[in-house]
Amino acid sequence: MKVVCFMFPGFTLQDMVGPVTVWSMMPEVEFEFVAAAKGDVMTDSGLAVRATHDFSDVAKAPDVLLVPGGGLPVFEAMQDDALLDAIAGAGAGAKWVTSVCSGSMLLGAAGLLQGYRSASHWSARPYLEKFGAVADAGRVVIDRNRASGGGITAGIDFGLVMVAQWAGAETARLIELVLEYAPEPPNGCGRPELANGATLAQARALTATVMPEHLADAAARRRGFAPAAR
């Protein structure tokens, strides 16, 4: 199974590492890590990931296309037509088109989510309609051959759900056990509906600065999407 992972400067490392760690435990999986140029791509955590492919030699018909998300770097990447065109090209031939967190925004801007339900980070979810997608609050959302995970940590859940799709439930259970994936959130406020008012207000103020709506609007206009109905 060939998995093509697109990268861009400042993307959220966990968005990609979560599913890649899960999928690497399946047999006969090959990854292509793609960026504008081969070599190191710096992530949001200060760690670099090496791009093995660039836009000129990325697989045209991969089994899986995966796009990670991030904060402001995603909205800046949405202004990069070369990146969006490369994602669109790989997605057109992919058996599965997938994302984690706000990576769904890049899929949307690339024209790959029109009429599809999609998850995203809760703060970016309202913007999906700008690209013809149907926002879904699920932690993992599958709509035909589009699959998406919610914010950041949902990448592991998403990865395991997809293993069950591809290799069966028993393989997914085995990988979950080997990974010792048994989350016990220490504060119990990992979703907006679980947080108290003060924490939610602080989180909204923080995410508003790194997920600016005007950049989503600019990408939607440039890529030819009609304004979403209000």
3-state DSSP assignment of residue 226: coil
**For this structure, is 101 an active site residue?**
yes
Q: The tokens 């065109």 sit on which residue? A: 85
How far is residue 226's CA from residue 19's CA, in Å, rounded to a whole number?
Answer: 33
Is the CB of residue 126 less than 8 Å from the CB of residue 115?
no
How far is residue 114's CA from residue 96's CA, in Å, rounded to a whole number?
Answer: 15
Please pick, among 36, 77, 100, 101, the residue that the annotation labels catalytic. 101
Nearest to 49 by CA among 14, 100, 3: 14
Residue type, 200: L
Is the CB of residue 123 less than 8 Å from the CB of residue 195?
no
Which residues are identified as catalytic?
101
